[in-house]
A and B are shown apart, each in its own frame.
Chain A
Amino acid sequence: MEVKIHRLGRVEGDGGIEIVIGPAGIEESRVYVYEAKRYIEKALRGRHYSEVPDITSRVCGLCPTSYSVVSSTAIEKCLGCEPPEHVVRLRRAAQLCEWVNSHAVHVALLHAPDLIKFGKRDPEWARIELAKAAYTIRKWSKTMSKALVGRAIHPVNIKVGGLWSSPKAGLVKTLLRSFDEVLSTATRLLEIVLELKRPEWPPLREGGSVLEESYPLLGQEVVLMNYSGDALSLYTMLEKEKPPYSNAPRLRHKGKAFSLGPIPRYMRFDHRLRPEARDLLKQAGFTPRSMADSIVIRAAEIIHALLEVRDTVEEIDRYRVWNTECPKAPGEEKVCFAAIEAPRGILYHRYVIGADGRVIEAELLPPTVANLAAAEEDMNHIPSELLRSRETAEWASALIVRNYDPCISCATR
């Protein structure tokens, strides 16, 4: 039997699924990507590096801050002009607001409906409560993004060298007043998600994340399976292939598919989550058992991120200088790279910048290029009783893809 979802809903971008089921189970599985290529990497060539963060953010409307921040970080590191620590921290806070923005939608509106169907929760009631929670949380974090970097989608305050201007202190203060309410909504969201019945397949898939002192977010070091070191060497080593049926490439490590995102972040670094989030998971007796548990980790990461953002923005009054610069021309050719934890996992950027400061080459590798390969392999773990009817097979294969919250516009670029 062939099961085909021509157009998959509740994911970002334009893609579909096809699985071929034989007597012994899954014979073939493909995640199609129809999304049109936009050739953003090519568009960057010849432009001055200062334009890069405003262009790369346009790759993705769900994780634009990740693009702007990692572009800026990569170029600052190779030019040797890293901004002062409070500026770096502020950009990290903006990045964490993006985790909240993105996770809230995925958890409540895109992923949960699959599990509501699977479990016994009354769908309408649960859906309305989830939608309201997502709305409250997202409204707060989007407004916080606005105060810090101008807007949540395609921020304007991030540049190579730091920021253009101070955050809007008045708006930050107003938002801090409703912090407790948002945190309790996020806690409620996590509780609802913990109550959802989650399938025990597909098994947890090994993967990687950024490597730094805190819960992973931003840097030049990464860890993947048994590799640990700089991102440039790793990404040079990884295999990229573009299957004929897909406009997006697939990324593998020594022939193996791997996962990026909340599951590998949590599997290695759960002890670095904020204790408030960790305790809630502990009280519920949570240990991840399948990729579907990513929904719980996303909900916990919302709490973690909210607390980190609060701690950073509470201190902004202590600083006066926010607008810092980098030299316009490096004087010699430079190779720049950095990796950031976008909501869906490592987003890796590499640039070659000429002596005049213009981009010679750009490579942007989003997490979804790894996760699409992982999702295709995960299909082999759909229990055979679900493969007997078209309806359950469709449901299971769609869930497997949504476990990764794929971002197809990113993957295609």
Chain B
Amino acid sequence: MVRKLKVAGLKLASCSGCLATIADALLPYILKGDVELGCFALLTDPEMDGEYDVGFVEGSVATEEQEAELKEFRKRVKFLIAVGACALFGGPQSINPGIAKLVEDVVGVDYRIPGCPIEEWQVKEVINHLMRGTRPPKETETLCTECRRMNVQCVAITEGLTCLGPAVMAGCSALCPSFGRGCYGCRGPSPGTSVKPILELDPNALNKAIVSQEKVRRGWR
């Protein structure tokens, strides 16, 4: 049984990169008639006007108006998904302390999609699950696992670069290592994080990684 979903998108303090990715991912569903857009920043009238099966919220909370809007959005949305580093960890605006709150400081969410930006495949996976009425799985893999799975050479071993891979959430197809650079942690920390693998490789890199990992926990980097 497939059901048609009414989907909404709310933008807070952010760059629209995650919402643009969601728009790209949803377009084929919209053309097929499986998804109908409600209020959706960027694509339609952003004024909230009804109830929605699925709501995506991008960005962190930087003003009182945004806080009120987010609470209103929560009331209207059955399945609320916080998307991207801004919503989950504060994003680039959290480099300056005291500017932004996380979405989960204000409301409870039903699901989280990490990324900066999130990836189209993540959006499609969630929508497919919700259309079938099943719950999407939680992501826990780290970037290191992804490098191995994708056969990308470890840049920490071969190039001696600092890479946050062991501490960071997978999902980007090991993008930076595949371009010969270390991961700088844009997707945020993985829940099951361990820094041990780096320690064994390069004690110096580890120190840097721990420092950065602490930063990753607080914010975007």
Contact = CB atoms under 8 A, between A and B. Distances in A.
A13 B43 contact: no
Interface in B30-55: 30-31, 41-47
A165 B158 CA distance: 15
Interface of B: 11-21, 23-24, 27-28, 30-31, 41-47, 62-63, 65-66, 91-93, 95-96, 99-100, 116-117, 175-176, 178-181, 184, 186, 220
A7 B40 CA distance: 11
B179 A165 contact: yes
A14 B181 contact: no
A157 interface: yes
B146 to A, nearest CB: 14
A72 interface: no
A138 B66 CA distance: 31
Given A10-B43, A10-B44, A43-B92, A153 B20 contact: yes
A117 to B, nearest CB: 14
A135 interface: yes
Contact of A9 (B31, B45, B99, B175): B45
B99 A38 contact: yes
Interface of A: 6-14, 34-40, 42-43, 54-55, 58-62, 64, 105, 109-110, 128, 131-132, 135, 138-139, 142, 150-151, 153-154, 156-157, 159, 164-165, 323, 409
A165 B184 contact: no
Given A6-B47, A10-B43, A62 B20 contact: yes
A84 B110 CA distance: 49
Contacts, number: 121
Contacts of A61: 14-21, 117
Nearest to B24: A138
A36 B62 contact: yes
A10 B42 contact: yes
A58 B91 contact: yes
Most chain A Cβ neighbours within 10 Å, of B14, B95, B184, B220: B95
B17 A154 contact: yes
Most chain A Cβ neighbours within 10 Å, of B23, B24, B65, B184: B24
Contact of B99 (A39, A131, A138): A39
Contact of A58 (B11, B15, B46): B15
23 contacts: A9-B43, A9-B45, A12-B16, A13-B16, A14-B41, A35-B13, A38-B99, A39-B96, A40-B93, A43-B92, A43-B93, A54-B184, A55-B95, A60-B17, A61-B14, A61-B17, A131-B27, A135-B31, A139-B24, A150-B178, A151-B117, A153-B117, A156-B181
B179 A38 contact: no
3 nearest A-B residue pairs (beta carbon): A61-B17, A36-B62, A43-B95
Given A9-B45, A38-B62, A39-B93, A64 B180 contact: no
A153 B30 CA distance: 22
A154 B11 CA distance: 18
B11 A14 contact: yes
Given A12-B16, A164-B176, 4 more contacts: A35-B13, A38-B93, A58-B116, A58-B220
Contacts of B14: 61, 409
B12 A36 contact: yes
Contacts of B46: 7-9, 14
A333 B206 CA distance: 32
B96 A43 contact: yes
Contacts of B96: 39, 42-43
Contact of A128 (B18, B31, B116): B31
A165 B180 contact: yes
Contacts of B175: 150-151, 156
Contacts of B21: 61, 153
Contacts of B184: 54
B13 A38 contact: yes
A59 B91 CA distance: 11
A12 B42 contact: yes
Contacts of B92: 38, 40, 43, 55, 58
Most chain A Cβ neighbours within 10 Å, of B18, B20, B43, B181: B20
Contacts of B17: 58, 60-62, 64, 153-154
B15 A7 contact: no
Contacts of A151: 117, 175
Contacts of A110: 43
A11 B66 CA distance: 18
A37 B62 contact: yes
A25 to B, nearest CB: 27
Contacts of A156: 175-176, 179, 181
A369 to B, nearest CB: 16
A72 to B, nearest CB: 14
A7 B181 CA distance: 41
A60 B42 CA distance: 13
Contact of B15 (A11, A60, A150): A60
A35 to B, nearest CB: 8
A196 B23 CA distance: 25
Contacts of A64: 15, 17
